Amino acid sequence: MPLIKKERLTQETSIFISLDLYGDYLEKSKIATGIGFLDHMLELFSFHSGIIFELKAEGDLEVDYHHTVEDVGITLGLALKEALGERKGLSRYGEATIPMEEALSQAVIDLAKRPYLHFEVTFPSEKIGNFDTELVEEFFKALVNNALFTLHLRCFYGKNSHHIAESLFKAFAYAFKKAISPQEEEILSTKGIL
């Protein structure tokens, strides 16, 4: 699998990503978005999914984090879309339910090229540090709309917003890892195409 490189330049952000879907070329992810909490969540996703990437983002953080978070989601999504290609020989579906102390979250994925996000999550606080919790949904929305897959995320329960977010990203990582795992059928669809 070749190394995928994507860049997104706007008047609000500058994003560059180099991505290895199966961790063959890069040893460890290097992530620098200027947003500590987002870096932390992306590092969790990388570590638990086995997807290694180098990501550098610069954005108008003096306005707020929205543009940077959304554009990181878009750029990562575009890189994943290219890395997945025709999605041949992949398991297609993935599911994981992951706890983080008192929080329990589930992610369910279908890699068919139907972008859809179901986000059933309630955060008990509006912020995690200086990060707006509503941006978690914005990130995943941008990701699925550009990577072209279906993702259902829900948190069954949780009291700590950080723990809820962490359980979501870890569940997503494990579900995605299952969905991209190899399988014998070339295309896992009666249509013969995803």
**pLDDT tens digits along 16-67:** 999 999 987 668 899 999 999 999 999 999 999 999 999 999 999 999 999 9
The two three-digit tokens of residue 124, written as one number: 């008990």
Is the residue at 192 inside a domain?
A: no
Is the residue at 56 inside a domain?
A: yes
Is the residue at 92 inside a domain?
A: yes
- What is the C-alpha separation between 14 and 36, in angstroms, rounded? 17
**Residue 1 clears pLDDT 70, i.e. is over it:** no
User: pTM of the predicted model, to two decimals?
Assistant: 0.94
Is the residue at 193 inside a domain?
A: no
Compute the mean pLDDT over every residue in the chain, rounded to the nearest whole number. Answer: 95
Contacts of 85 (CB under 8 A, 6+ apart): none
Please state the domain count of the chain.
1
Is the residue at 42 inside a domain?
A: yes
Q: Which domain holds residue 150?
A: 4-179
Is the residue at 188 inside a domain?
A: no
Is the residue at 95 inside a domain?
A: yes
Is the residue at 38 inside a domain?
A: yes
Tell me, what CATH number does 38's domain have?
3.30.230.40
